[in-house]
């Protein structure tokens, strides 16, 4: 059974983003569009919008924002070299992504340096004992039962 061919220009935005390999599944693309992370020509888009040749699509992928210009339409997900022909990334977008990558490389997220998770109950007790021994004076240091005249 063959699939019906779509008329040129009749491709949904979520399907185009999936075919251009920005998202692994069409439902992920639709979710990102619904969250407002995809704009077409400066306006928040809907998944059912039909992109046109020359449209500028701005999408947030991971930590960076990409701005691409639609060069071709396709509703079929093909190999990566073929998908790369569907769009062209703007030079400003490439430069911004490089700057974000460089800043993330130079100043990594502090949470990624943690090798362990939360402290265990034993660790917590040892920390409390250590902290109380350093800060709180001992009983005999504060009170003296001797009577000095």
Residue 100, domain CATH: 3.10.290.10
139 belongs to a structural domain: no
Environment class of 13 (CB within 10 Å of its CB; exposed 0-12, middle 13-18, buried 19+): buried
Task: Give 144's pLDDT tier (boundaries 50, 70, 90).
Answer: low
One-character DSSP codes across 68-118:
EEE----SS---HHHHGGGEEE-HHHHHHHHHHHHHHHHS--GGGG--S-S
Q: Is residue 30 within 8 Å of 14, Cβ to Cβ?
A: yes
Residue 23 is given by DSSP the state S
Q: What is the pLDDT of residue 131?
A: 82
Task: Give 4's pLDDT tier (boundaries 50, 70, 90).
Answer: very low
18 belongs to a structural domain: yes
Q: What is the pLDDT of residue 5?
A: 43
Q: Is residue 81 within 8 Å of 96, Cβ to Cβ?
A: no
Total-model pTM: 0.68
Distance CA 75, CA 38 (A): 18
| Residue that wins the pLDDT comparison between 90 and 131 | 90
Reported as a single tens digit per residue, the pLDDT across 26-80 is: 999 999 999 999 999 999 999 999 999 999 999 998 888 999 999 999 999 999 9
Distance CA 17, CA 47 (A): 10
Task: Please state the φ and ψ torsions of residue 26, each to the nearest 5 degrees.
Answer: -70, -35
Task: Give 3's pLDDT tier (boundaries 50, 70, 90).
Answer: very low
What is the mean predicted confidence (pLDDT) over 7-24? Answer: 87
Structural domain total, the chain: 1
Reported as a single tens digit per residue, the pLDDT across 102-140 is: 988 888 777 777 777 788 899 889 888 888 776 666 665
Q: Which residues constitute the domain of residue 88? A: 13-106
């Amino acid at each position: 059974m063959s699939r019906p061919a779509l008329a040129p220009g009749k491709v949904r935005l979520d399907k185009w983003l999936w075919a251009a390999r920005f998202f692994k599944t069409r439902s992920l693309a639709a979710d990102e569009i619904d969250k407002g992370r995809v704009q077409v020509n400066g306006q928040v888009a809907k998944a059912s919008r039909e992109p046109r040749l020359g449209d500028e699509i701005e999408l947030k992928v991971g930590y960076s924002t990409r701005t691409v210009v639609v060069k071709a339409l396709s509703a079929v997900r093909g190999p990566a070299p073929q998908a790369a022909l569907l769009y062209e990334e703007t030079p400003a977008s490439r430069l911004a992504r490089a700057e974000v990558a460089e800043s993330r490389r130079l100043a990594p997220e502090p949470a990624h340096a943690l090798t362990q998770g939360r402290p265990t109950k034993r660790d917590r007790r040892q920390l409390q004992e250590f902290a109380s021994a350093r800060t709180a004076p001992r009983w005999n240091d504060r009170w003296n039962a001797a009577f000095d005249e």
